[in-house]
Amino acid sequence: MNKPRFHIVTFGCQMNRHDSEHIAGALREAGLEPAGDLDDARVIVYNTCCVREHAEERFYGQLSQLAGLKRVRPEVVIAVTGCVAENDGEQVFRRAPHVDLVVGTEAAAGLARLVESRIAGEGGRLCTRDASPDDLADAPSLRESPVHGWISIMTGCDNFCSYCIVPYVRGREKSRSMDRILAQAEEMAAEGVIDVTLLGQNVNSYGRDLSGELRFAELLQRLDTVGIDRIRFTTSHPKDLSSKTIGAIAASSHVCHHIHLPVQAGSSAVLARMNRHYTKEEYLQLIADVRRAIPDVALSTDVMVGFPGETERDFSDTLDVVHESRFDQVFTFMYSKRIGTPAADMPDQIAQETKQDRFRRLMESVKAGALRANEAYAGRAVDVLVEGPSSKDPSRLTGRTRTNKLVHFTASPALRHTVVPVTITAARTWFLEGRLSPRSDSVPMPRQDAATWEG
Ligand code: SAH
Ligand code: SF4
Ligand code: F3S
């Protein structure tokens, strides 16, 4: 008999991508198989995000389109998990009566079992947000890529930035045991994974809730020896990035010299209202310290415009920080009001047109900065982990440097999922162009894709 098939649609951050891989692993363990697409699926899982209104609306828009499919094929099981499931609970049924299961973030480890009983025809519609005794991260995972893996090192968030819904939908900060993380990393290394990303909303506070003194710096030191070539981590909160962690990154051989360090805003007054616990000056000092310790570091950040009460002057502080910090990559957002967060009730919400205008001006500055940062790579030899054919031009390959720069170049598709030396021939705003270099070509440097910062 054919096994029932499942299809997972994932919205949101890397934590959701990680969770989807483990939900897929758990479903496979329960006897299901991945489906090619929605039409082929007996089980459809939406793993959702509500960090901004847009993400949430996009999900509900797509979900409403499944009403017709459910009418024609009532046996299809539709499950909603992730942050919208946690936030909206039963309300999901009100907006989409064709949904069978709503499973909150902390209940997601039980999703596969619930799906199994629905397939067996047991039970009706169900919403659960009760924390599962199991950890979803311990379920087997079905990875999207054989060479890239995610490891959740902690879940939840205790920071309560005043605009952010994440602490309400992901619960309190909880670190996973270091032994468990190391064991997962070792398994991945044995399976040929080359690039691992450690995940947490604030990885810098890893271990604070565990007994003993071991923290993020020690975790990085230990992971450095497990045999994984590229170890990444996200996200770092500037208030908690310690000099010990910076030192551990600098000293390691396999931790990538890339730090995602969301600044959110440049104005110290706005940062205080955001509950970020650092000022503009402290952030700039931190970046200076990081660059001194790790001269070839690539820095990326998140920036938001239109936070309540943001004045033109506040916004110009944001532009200042973006200009001065010479980020390699900036993820830009327009503030989106999230019901239940403190900022939603703050006075002086910013008009949509003002947000759009500031967003546009921010993007101009970001584009100029991204091109400048990429130009520092021209002529350099870098090691590229090949992801596969470029989505825009399938005759070319695309891959990433250790510093997470996207590189396009022409070479045999057989190089997919290997690390190859590439010489950068041109810098574009959002990517680099390169040419495959013979091994002897690559300039021996301590880190071959290191861009230096001059002036
Ligand atoms: N824990 C991570 C990720 C949080 S969500 C961190 O602290 O960086 C990713 C980004 O979404 C945030 O950095 C922030 O820039 C943005 N974001 C969060 N809430 C938002 C909101 N209400 N409106 C607009 N952007 C938001
Ligand atoms: Fe949200 Fe702040 Fe936590 Fe990041 S650190 S998830 S922005 S509350
Ligand atoms: Fe979105 Fe939840 Fe991640 S709200 S950004 S999917 S933690």
Taking the CA of 161 as reference, the closest ligand is 2
Characterise 23 by phi-psi region: left (phi > 0), alpha (psi -120 to 50), beta (else): alpha
Question: Is residue 17 over pLDDT 80?
Answer: yes
Domain holding 397: CATH number? 2.40.50.140
| pLDDT, mean of residues 59-76 | 96
For 2, which DSSP code? P
pLDDT of residue 446: 37
The Cα 27–Cα 34 span in angstroms is 9
- Do residues 121 and 147 share a domain? no
Quote the percentage of the chain above a pLDDT of 90.
92
- Do residues 18 and 61 share a domain? yes
Q: Residue 19: give the domain boundaries.
A: 5-128
Quote the percentage of the chain above a pLDDT of 70.
96
Q: 21 lies in a domain? A: yes
Closest Cα to residue 66, out of 86, 88, 41, 83? 41
Q: 156 lies in a domain? A: yes
pLDDT of residue 455: 23
What band does 213 get if pLDDT is binned at 50, 70 and 90? confident
- Do residues 187 and 149 share a domain? yes
Taking the CA of 235 as reference, the closest ligand is 1
Q: 218 lies in a domain? A: yes
From the CB of 83, is ligand 3 less than 6 Å away? yes
pTM score, whole prediction: 0.94
From the CB of 12, is ligand 3 less than 6 Å away? yes
What band does 391 get if pLDDT is binned at 50, 70 and 90? confident
From the CB of 166, is ligand 3 less than 6 Å away? yes
Structurally, the chain folds into a number of domains equal to: 3
pLDDT of residue 443: 43
pLDDT of residue 439: 63
pLDDT digits (tens, 9 = 90+) for 273-310: 999 999 999 999 999 999 999 999 999 999 999 999 99
pLDDT of residue 445: 40
Domain stops at, among 128, 157, 178: 128
* 3-class state of residue 333 by DSSP: strand
Count of CB atoms situated within 10 Å of the CB of 49: 22
- Using CA of residue 188, residue 298, residue 389, residue 383, what is the dihedral sign? negative
Distance 170 CA to ligand 2 centre (A): 10
From the CB of 164, is ligand 2 less than 6 Å away? yes
Q: β-strands 329-334, 298-305: how paired? A: parallel
- Do residues 122 and 148 share a domain? no
pLDDT digits (tens, 9 = 90+) for 362-376: 999 999 999 999 999
Domain holding 45: CATH number? 3.40.50.2300
Domain stops at, among 68, 101, 128: 128
Angle, CA of 39, 42 and 46, to the nearest 5°: 80
From the CB of 167, is ligand 2 less than 6 Å away? yes
Question: Is residue 381 over pLDDT 90?
Answer: yes
- Do residues 159 and 82 share a domain? no
Domain holding 229: CATH number? 3.30.750.210
- Do residues 161 and 64 share a domain? no
From the CB of 202, is ligand 2 less than 6 Å away? yes
Q: 20 lies in a domain? A: yes
Sheet with 126-128: strands ordered across: 33-34, 5-10, 43-48, 77-82, 101-103, 126-128
- Do residues 116 and 192 share a domain? no
Domain stops at, among 235, 256, 277: 256
- Do residues 35 and 117 share a domain? yes
| pLDDT, mean of residues 378-387 | 96
The Cα 336–Cα 90 span in angstroms is 23
Q: 109 lies in a domain? A: yes
- Do residues 32 and 120 share a domain? yes
pLDDT digits (tens, 9 = 90+) for 22-61: 999 999 999 999 998 888 999 999 999 999 999 999 999 9
pLDDT digits (tens, 9 = 90+) for 214-247: 899 999 999 999 999 999 999 999 999 999 999 9
Q: 306 lies in a domain? A: no
- Do residues 153 and 221 share a domain? yes
Q: 363 lies in a domain? A: no
18, 203, 278, 304: residue to mutate for ligand 1 pocket, most atoms within 8 A of CB:
304
- Do residues 72 and 115 share a domain? yes
| pLDDT, mean of residues 415-420 | 96
